[in-house]
Amino acid sequence: MNQSTGALPEREMLLTILCELKRTSREYTTAVTESNCSAIRQTLTSLLNSTLESQAKVYGYMKQHNMYNASSPVLRQEVEKKFMQHQQAQQEQSQFVQSRLQGRQPYGAPFPNNGNTPSQHQSFMM
């Protein structure tokens, strides 16, 4: 803490702001996914996008001024592999939901896995 003014150093203040923006974006994301009203969902989505833009600006400023160390770089190939796995899982989930909504399969019927083994359906985490 700065002795003369009692204020936090710039880096500490920006880290606090960055953490709050991350928290706020998580809260908005939850609210968007749980919203039942399209007008409220649209408003929350707009707020989420604004929050993400602010977070990117704070992060960019901190990185430019060597106040934030990013994690080690990930190989592009690994990112693309995880992205494809995520896309495949998302497509399967969408098909599952559509089949249930259209009544093509009774509730509780197994969802075809197209020959994939369960180990191929890992969650998307980095």
Tens-digit pLDDT profile for residues 21-73: 999 999 999 999 999 999 999 999 999 999 999 999 999 999 999 888 766 67
> Mean pLDDT, to the nearest integer, of 80-98?
89
Q: Is the CB of residue 29 less than 8 Å from the CB of residue 36?
A: no
**pTM of the full structure:** 0.56
Question: Which tokens hold the place of 58?
Answer: 């704070």
Write down the pLDDT at residue 61. 94
Write down the pLDDT at residue 80. 87
Long-range Cβ contacts of 96-99 (<8 Å, 24+ apart): none
